[in-house]
Structure 1
Amino acid sequence: MNRPVVVMPDAVAVVTGYLRDVLKAHGQTVPVVSRIPSPRPSAFVRVQRIGGTQQTPVSDRPRLDIHCWAESESAAHDLAALTRALLGDIPGVRDGVTVYRVSEVGGPMWLPDDQTSTPRYAFAVEIHMRGCAR
């Protein structure tokens, strides 16, 4: 007899979907993506999984890098600050996935794009979320 297995959610999909909605609700209609778009928009947010661990047999704690590009240093800073604040409100059920908590593991830092010199700020979080039995 096959036992159900617990499959962890796609944290990047959950977070990008959440950020798209809440940034738009706060007047920021920037793309929120997992890969750098081509052509590049003048401002956008990229969410990338850079590791993490399985927290419990039924939950995951992915580590995510959040990068915010914009036309000026101050605009990139402001986009990162808003994104950071909105991620603090992610606990709850998001797109059918239970999100328990978010922990910042690296605060915002100035990180101009090394290929284009476009202004960018980045920060890192860990997001504890529940898996799904299948």
Structure 2
Amino acid sequence: MASRPAIVMPDAVAVVTGFLRAALKASGRPVPVVSRVPNPRPPEFVRVQRIGGVRQTPVSDRPRLDIHAWAETESAAHDLAALSRALLDQIPGVRDGVTVYGVSEVGGPMWLPDDQTSAPRYAFAVEIHMRGRAL
């Protein structure tokens, strides 16, 4: 019986932060897109954080990601989250060598002021279906 090759799943946060950084810049909104809250905090930024997810198939992953958008006003935070949400619809394809099959929203935008600073923030959650690579 032949064994299957080991499959390594991609770093979904790295793929999505890279995609969003470039897409936001191309849309005229060049804000930092990071995996951790920067110190010091810029006035506007987007954070992508993996909060779970499951292996979709033996060769693909379906990570669940929280996307948080901070800005100086509630309206600006909403608009940055809305733009990020719209841009993520364009992620299917090959991104940094990773095949991305699709994106599904699992939690729509919600007002979520920063619990430490009360800074304006909106958040939403997605699942991204992406292919792993054989070792």
The alignment's TM-score, normalised by the length of structure 2, stands at 0.97
1-side partners of 2:118 and 2:53: how far apart? 29
Q: Which residue of 2 aligns with 1:119?
A: 120
Corresponding residue number in structure 1 for 2:57? 56
What corresponds to 2:76 in structure 1?
75
Q: After superposition, give the CA deviation of every residue in 1:97-130 in whole Å (9 maximum; x if it has no partner).
A: 0000100000000000011110000000000000
2:117 and 2:41 mapped to 1: Cα distance?
10
Equivalent AA in structure 1 for residue 122 of structure 2: Y
Q: Runs in 1 of length 4+ with deviation above 6 angstroms?
A: none
Question: What residue is the counterpart of 1:66 in the other structure?
Answer: 67
**In structure 1, what is the equivalent of residue 5 of structure 2?**
4
1:1-134 alignment runs, 5 A limit: 4-134=5-135
- State the Cα distance separating 1:4 from its structure 2 match: 2.7
Q: CA RMSD in A?
A: 1.1
Give the alignment's TM-score, normalised by structure 1.
0.97
Identity %: 81
